[in-house]
Copies of this chain bind each other. A is one copy, B any other.
Amino acid sequence: MNSRIAIPGLSRVGFQGEPGAYSEEAALRLLGESVATVPRATFQAAFRAIPDGAADAILVPVENSLAGSVVRVYDLLLESNLSIIAEYILSIEHHLIGCPGARRDEIRSVASHPVALAQCERFFEANSLLRRIPAEDTAGSVREVLARGDTSCAAIAGRRAAARYGGVILESGIQDNRENFTRFVLLVPEPGPLAGADKMTIAMRLAHRPGALAASLEPFARNGVNLLKIESRPIHGRPWEYQFFLEVESEAPQKLQTAVTELRRCALDVRVLGLYQAARGESPSSAA
């Protein structure tokens, strides 16, 4: 179960995308419908919304269960001084959205972001006469279809985008894989102590020698801390040298701190990117 959280002083949350985007949906579910959402065109602009004074926090995707990590966000997170204070797992359901009055059988072209188009491959195989139109944004493709008012055009996006722009859902749940989840993290400049925090995201670099990674993971094993995810990322400007990102979990937060203290003795540039409460029960029904 994703828990809704309340954070004092957090009234405006930035996200990447257009109004109606999946990120906005996740932000409103995590923080409640009364939070103001601040759309930004790019991830970089979303990260700038806090220093620019336009937002108190930002909610950004870090991983999709089908498409993998959103590496651009990890890079920006590392460049920023923001910290993760919460995560939210959203079940992604793609719908075919058209203009009011449009009939499913008169649709001739379907616009969406190429990743969303690719996640509906079976739909396009079964409807092979439909023309695929790539777009920069899922919600933005709905906005454009509705603005043109052409009932032969549709877009693929989430339910909130249909509601936001007055579109109608012509066919629902058209993605190939029902288990399509995106994990978002909430970032703030100055996190206070968090009750119930049991998960930590860590960035580190390692000396390029045999055994360096095995040695760096021993503090977690020794303290009974569970490693949930590990990823190495090339370091910009030093091709094929790697930065590591770890996600670890323990029911005893003190063990996380002890493991990190021990980690600092064997790894370079260890940085805790956040200590927060893990979202639980990642099934389509519980994510809703």
> Is the beta-carbon distance between A229 and B229 smaller than 8 angstroms?
no
Residues of B within 8 A of A212 (CB): 227
- Contacts of A194 on B, CB cut-off 8 Å? none
User: A86 vs B232: C-alpha distance in the bound complex, in angstroms?
Assistant: 21
Q: Contact flags (1/0) for A111-146 with B, using CB distance below 8 Å?
A: 001100110010000000000101110000000000
Q: Which of A67-75, A151-159, A164-172 contacts B (4 or more CB under 8 A)?
A: A67-75
A214-235 Cβ-contact flags toward B at 8 Å (1 or 0): 1101101111111111111110
Band of interface residues on A:
35 or more
Bound-complex Cα distance A228 to B241 (A): 8
Chain B residues lying within 8 Å of A228, measured Cβ to Cβ, are: 240, 242
Within the complex, what minimum Cβ distance (angstroms) separates A129 from chain B? 16
Contacts of A230 in B (CB 8 A): 213, 230-232, 244
| Interface of chain A: mostly helix, strand, loop or mixed | mixed
A255-277, CB < 8 A from B: none
Q: Which residues of B contact A209 (CB under 8 A)?
A: 226
Judge if A236 is at the interface, Cβ distance under 8 Å.
yes
A232–B234 CB distance below 8 A: no
Would you give the shortest CB distance from A61 to chain B, in whole angstroms?
A: 14
Contacts of A218 in B (CB 8 A): 214
A68 to chain B: closest residue by CB: B71
Does A210 contact B236, Cβ atoms closer than 8 Å? Answer: no
Q: How many copies does the complex hold?
A: 2
Most buried by B among A69, A214, A218: A214
Judge whether A210 and B226 touch: CB under 8 Å.
yes
Judge whether A208 and B226 touch: CB under 8 Å: yes
Cβ–Cβ < 8 Å partners of A215 in chain B: 221
Closest to A244 in B: B230
Q: Which of A181, A233, A239 has the most CB of B within 10 A?
A: A239
Cα separation A239 to B287 with both chains bound (whole Å):
12
A190 in the interface (beta carbon within 8 A)? no
Q: Are B234 and A231 in contact (CB under 8 A)?
A: no
Closest Cβ neighbor of A226 among chain B residues: B210
- Is A81 positioned at the interface, with any CB of B under 8 Å from its CB? no
A282 contact from B114, B211, B239, Cβ within 8 A: B239
CB–CB B242/A213 < 8 A? no
A206 to B, closest residue via Cβ: B227
Most chain B CB within 10 A, of A66, A232, A283, is at: A232
The 9 closest A-B pairs by CB, nearest first: A211-B221, A68-B71, A214-B217, A214-B221, A134-B134, A65-B234, A210-B224, A239-B282, A210-B226
- Provide a sorted-by-A list of 18 A–B residue pairs whose CB atoms are within 8 angstroms: A42-B118, A44-B121, A68-B69, A68-B234, A114-B134, A117-B136, A132-B136, A134-B136, A179-B236, A179-B237, A211-B224, A212-B227, A214-B220, A214-B221, A214-B227, A217-B217, A229-B232, A229-B242
